[in-house]
Amino acid sequence: MDSVAAENFSNFQLDVASLPKFEEVKLQPISKKYLVKSQVGTTISLLFFGIGLIVAYSFVPAEFQNYIIGGGIFLALIFGWSFFNNIMYVRRSGYAMREQDIIFHRGFLFERTTVVPFNRIQHVSVERSFLDKILNISTLKVFTAGGSGSDINIPGIYPQTATSVKEEISTRIYNHA
């Protein structure tokens, strides 16, 4: 660091209480159609495991069949929790765009909020699976430098909205460059 840069250097403390609070932002909810997609995936998994338990029950000796029944009860509890978790995930998930960043909040037992400034975003994509196309939803993926995957995946957004958000973010990251 040269002497001119050293003279101009400052590192003043910020008043943390005056910083903007992302908790006060009104989040846009994700589509309830994403719940249908989640429940379909959970149901398909339940069917595979259930069929596996039925097959196992028919092939094991009688003294081990009680273990299979116990496994079935445990499986029912796990999938009951999964169905409930899917419902709460959709209810508690939301996203918002501010002037400088995008926010995605999800989870209910373990809540997670990700805030990504536009100047850190490398690119944005919109993806739609086969089931997404049937349900008319999509997933917005936001990528930053240094990550192997996307930093934010916002599922259950209507395709028109996802495209609009993608274009807005692309315009903002292009203007920051």
What pLDDT, on the 0 to 100 scale, is given for residue 89?
95
Return the number of other C-beta atoms located less than 10 Å from residue 4's C-beta: 8
**Local confidence band at 172 (pLDDT 50, 70, 90 cut-offs):** confident
d(CA 122, CA 72): 46
The distance from CA 156 to its chain's CA centroid, rounded to whole angstroms, is 9
Percent of the chain with pLDDT over 90: 57
Can you tell me which residue has the tokens 């209507």? 158
Q: Where exactly are the structural domains of the chain?
A: 34-89, 95-176
What pLDDT, on the 0 to 100 scale, is given for residue 74?
93
What pLDDT, on the 0 to 100 scale, is given for residue 96?
94
Tell me: the pLDDT tens digits for 57-95?
888 898 888 999 999 999 999 999 999 999 999 999 999
Give 94-126 as a DSSP string: EEEE-SSEEEEEE-SSS-EEEEEEGGGEEEEEE
Q: Does domain 95-176 have CATH number 2.30.29?
A: yes
Tell me: the pLDDT tens digits for 23-67?
788 999 999 999 999 999 999 999 999 999 999 888 889 888 899
Q: What is the pTM of this model?
A: 0.81
Average pLDDT, the chain: 89
Contact 162, 138 (CB under 8 A): yes
What pLDDT, on the 0 to 100 scale, is given for residue 142?
93
Q: Give helix then strand counts, H and E, for the chain.
A: 5, 7
Q: What is the mean pLDDT of residues 86-110?
A: 92
141 Cβ neighbours under 8 A, 6+ residues apart: 124, 125, 126, 127, 150, 152, 153, 154
